[in-house]
């Protein structure tokens, strides 16, 4: 029987690359997303709605008998200082980036505990460990993801449940292009120039592709990473090593 994996926000970007990678490794993979998933199984779900997440997980478990892997990937980007971040802005970022992961982990833990095994991978950012200008709410949310990975790893190690975070650097996804487009609209900058400048900021001289991040997510989800838990793993082209 195929192992079962759930990916939140698996319909585009890094999430989609993760879904494809897990399918290649033989997992029956479900994407919890508002947008249809082009591959794997799609469950329409708003990750900020705890009942919707619980219902989706319950149905997947009822139909498949197990949940082996959870990848908490759903997230949004938001650029602003603390002074210019409204309470509504902060609530929106935390609802998706933090509470979405919290809801998914809580929903999947009972099945993983009953099976005495499971792997949880949270999609963090280089901002799990460093700060960046104009990134108050997003940075806050990614530090929370790092904390969630470590505390979950410690609290459920006795059940052979592992939890790790992948700290992705700048990656070419629809989220990236949306952020660049927004910046260019505000500043009048040329998008090609900004894209090239982003690449030059990375020691490897380019930004990541989604598959390069997904490769590590799939490894951490697998039994090959059976003694890795509570860890933050950078996939950032050397950015945070500077």
Asked, for residue 241, whether it belongs to a domain, the answer is no
Give the pLDDT confidence of 30-85 residue by residue, as tens digits: 999 999 999 999 999 999 999 999 999 999 999 999 999 999 999 999 999 999 99
pLDDT for 6 beyond 80: yes
Asked, for residue 240, whether it belongs to a domain, the answer is no
Asked, for residue 239, whether it belongs to a domain, the answer is no
**Does 157 share its domain with 51?**
yes
**Does 180 share its domain with 164?**
no
**Does 31 share its domain with 149?**
yes
Angle at 174 between CA 82 and CA 131, to 5 degrees: 30
pLDDT score recorded for residue 130 = 98
Asked, for residue 9, whether it belongs to a domain, the answer is yes
Share of the chain above pLDDT 90, in %: 97
Strand ranges across the sheet with 232-235: 41-44, 28-33, 4-8, 69-72, 118-123, 161-168, 232-235
pLDDT score recorded for residue 175 = 85
Reported confidence tier of residue 93, pLDDT bands at 50, 70, 90 = very high
Q: Which residues are catalytic?
A: 138
**Does 45 share its domain with 98?**
yes
pTM: 0.96
Asked, for residue 115, whether it belongs to a domain, the answer is yes
**Does 126 share its domain with 226?**
yes
Asked, for residue 104, whether it belongs to a domain, the answer is yes
Give the pLDDT confidence of 169-206 residue by residue, as tens digits: 999 999 899 889 988 999 999 999 999 999 999 999 99
Domain with 200 in it: 172-207
**Does 23 share its domain with 133?**
yes
Question: Total domain count for the chain?
Answer: 2
**Does 118 share its domain with 152?**
yes
Q: What is the CATH number of the domain that holds 24?
A: 3.40.50.720
The DSSP H or E segment spanning 18 is helix 13-24
pLDDT for 1 beyond 80: no
d(CA 30, CA 19): 8
**Does 189 share its domain with 130?**
no
**Does 24 share its domain with 85?**
yes
The DSSP H or E segment spanning 4 is strand 4-8
Over its C-alpha atoms, the chain yields an Rg (Å, rounded) of 17
Asked, for residue 238, whether it belongs to a domain, the answer is no
**Does 142 share its domain with 202?**
no
**Does 36 share its domain with 149?**
yes
Q: Would you list the DSSP string of 96-134?
A: IIIIHHHHHHHHHHHHHHHHT-EEEEEE--GGGTS--TT
Tokens of 85: 């971040």
């Amino acid at each position: 029987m195929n192992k079962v994996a759930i990916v939140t926000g698996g319909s585009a970007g890094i999430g989609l690359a993760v879904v494809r990678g897990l399918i290649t490794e033989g997992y029956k993979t479900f994407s919890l997303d508002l947008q249809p998933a082009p591959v794997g199984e799609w469950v329409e779900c708003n990750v900020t709605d705890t009942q919707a997440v619980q219902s989706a997980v319950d149905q997947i478990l009822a139909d498949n008998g197990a949940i082996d892997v959870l990848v908490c990937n759903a997230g949004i980007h938001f650029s602003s200082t603390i002074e210019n971040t409204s309470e509504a802005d902060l609530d929106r970022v935390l609802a998706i980036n933090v509470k979405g992961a919290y809801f998914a982990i809580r929903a999947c833990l009972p099945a993983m505990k009953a099976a005495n095994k499971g792997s949880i991978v949270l999609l963090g950012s280089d901002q799990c460990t460093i700060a960046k200008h104009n990134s108050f709410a997003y940075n806050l949310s990614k530090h929370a993801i790092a904390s969630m990975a470590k505390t979950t790893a410690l609290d459920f190690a006795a059940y052979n449940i592992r939890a790790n975070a992948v700290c992705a650097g700048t990656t070419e996804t629809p989220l990236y292009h949306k952020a660049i487009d927004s910046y260019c609209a505000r500043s009048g900058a040329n998008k090609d120039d900004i894209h090239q400048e982003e690449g030059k900021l990375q020691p490897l001289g380019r930004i990541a592709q989604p598959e390069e991040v997904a490769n590590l997510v799939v490894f951490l989800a697998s039994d090959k990473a059976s003694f890795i838990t509570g860890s933050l793993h950078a996939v950032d082209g050397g950015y945070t090593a500077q």
